[in-house]
């Protein structure tokens, strides 16, 4: 596909422990992203947002005092924001809207609103054959995927731990990261952390923080007249595979289909990507996504993550913000993958900046390996 839309603004809300309301964090992210683009709320005629709470696009629009001609509140977990990129691009191309904001925010740490326990029926009533075993949602499901991966390929808990170690290395270069001042993390520390759902310890699990982010999408033609260099939307793809896990194979994930579609639309291949931003709800999510997206073969992700290629200064920079494991995870992390990709392509990432980055991939995962969405972004040429 030929790039006709671009991201022109990107920003975070306050992060960490904010003691702010969800709507306050939403408005922070949105107004900061608009300011980054040199735009204002009066320019916005499209809004896409979802959340772990009741706040939909209509409620956020009402709070902001805008009346968009197009909105989307598709709920697909952490991958929704990559899905919104496709919907926004299509809406702009069809003339339904000209300036669309994609946003998310949550105050789950301040409000202590996240619950990992409870019966599965609360989330997926069709999973009646799983709930008698008392799984933690979604943790135990990712743990099952990790057990299967280890069995299939001979991987170890130490291989999983390398993902968390890598995330911390990047977070130490990001002043906004929740673990910025925490110091390096070692494999032994990950393995020694309290076990949550075998084989995943607390250090294999994403953070629980407040925060949010927003990106602004408009036509590429208009983008070239705005404040910042536009980041072209080159391609996108998505796949929805399941809600419960009892009826689908654990491996490979739906990222195979979403990645294939995104690369095909962009006319690119994995070797063309300079910066990779993968949803890292758990350490296993990264290994599965690397393989499904074609960055390495089945069973090879562990050795890739253990190499210097993915670390600062390497030729395959991975999760450069510090990811959901060490930077920020407000319940749905997908929009912050886009924010980091934009910053890297603009050369705005500071100490963690990747040299000569021209193509970035952002990949979101939602639910219990349920939804998958891939976006390819590039510098304007």
Classify residue 173 by burial, with Cβ atoms within 10 Å: 0-12, 13-18, 19+.
Answer: middle
Helical residues (DSSP H) of the chain, grouped into ranges: 22-37, 57-64, 80-93, 108-111, 139-153, 157-171, 187-192, 220-223, 255-266, 283-292, 301-305, 323-326, 334-346
Distance CA(77)–CA(330), nearest Å, equals: 12
Give yes or no: 279 in active site.
Answer: yes
- Name the token pair of 110: 């301040």
* Residue that the structure tokens 């990811």 belong to: 323
What are the residues facing 217 on neighbouring strands? 7, 100
Please give the radius of gyration of the chain, using alpha carbons only, rounded to the nearest integer.
19
Candidate list 141, 149, 279, 333, residue with the active-site label: 279
Candidate list 141, 149, 327, 333, residue with the active-site label: 327
Distance CA(279)–CA(262), nearest Å, equals: 16
Give yes or no: 327 in active site.
Answer: yes
SS (H, E, C) 3-64: CCEEEEEEEECCCECCCCCHHHHHHHHHHHHHHHHCCCHHHCCEEEECCCCCCCHHHHHHHH
- Name the token pair of 258: 């979403």
φ and ψ at residue 81, rounded to 5 degrees: -75, -30
3-class state of residue 208 by DSSP: coil
Show which residues are catalytic. Answer: 279, 327
């Amino acid at each position: 596909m030929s790039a006709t839309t671009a991201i022109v603004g990107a920003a975070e809300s306050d992060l960490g422990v904010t003691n702010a309301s969800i709507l306050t964090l939403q408005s922070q992210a949105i107004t900061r992203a608009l300011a980054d683009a040199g735009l204002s709320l009066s320019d916005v005629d499209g809004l896409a947002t979802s959340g772990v709470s009741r706040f939909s696009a209509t409620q956020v629009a009402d709070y902001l005092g805008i009346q968009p001609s197009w909105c989307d509140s598709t709920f697909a977990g952490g991958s929704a924001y990559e899905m919104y990129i496709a919907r926004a691009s299509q809406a702009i191309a069809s003339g339904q809207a000209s300036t669309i904001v994609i946003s998310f925010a949550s105050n789950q740490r301040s409000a202590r609103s996240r619950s990992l326990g409870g019966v599965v029926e609360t989330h997926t009533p069709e999973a009646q054959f799983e709930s008698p075993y008392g799984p933690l949602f979604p943790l135990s499901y990712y743990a099952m995927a990790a057990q299967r991966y280890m069995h299939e390929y001979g991987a170890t808990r130490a291989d999983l731990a390398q993902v968390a170690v890598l995330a911390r290395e990047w977070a130490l270069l990001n002043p906004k990261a929740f673990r910025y001042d925490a110091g390096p993390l070692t494999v032994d520390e990950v393995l020694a952390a309290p076990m949550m759902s075998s084989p995943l310890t607390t250090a294999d699990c994403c953070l629980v923080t407040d925060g949010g982010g927003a990106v602004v999408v408009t036509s590429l033609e208009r983008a070239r007249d705005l404040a910042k260099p536009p980041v072209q939307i080159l391609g996108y793809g998505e796949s929805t595979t399941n809600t419960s896990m009892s009826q689908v194979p654990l491996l490979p994930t739906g990222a195979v289909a979403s990645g294939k579609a995104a690369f095909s639309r962009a006319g690119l291949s994995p070797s063309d990507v300079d910066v990779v931003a993968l949803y890292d709800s758990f350490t296993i999510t990264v290994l599965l996504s690397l393989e499904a997206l074609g960055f390495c073969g089945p069973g090879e992700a562990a050795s890739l993550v253990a190499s210097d290629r993915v670390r600062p200064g390497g030729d395959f920079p991975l999760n450069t913000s510090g990811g959901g494991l060490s930077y920020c995870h407000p319940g749905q992390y997908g929009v912050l993958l886009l924010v980091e990709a934009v910053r890297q392509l603009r050369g705005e990432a500071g100490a963690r900046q990747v040299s000569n980055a021209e193509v970035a991939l952002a990949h979101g995962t939602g639910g219990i390996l349920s939804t998958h969405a891939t976006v390819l972004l590039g510098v304007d040429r």
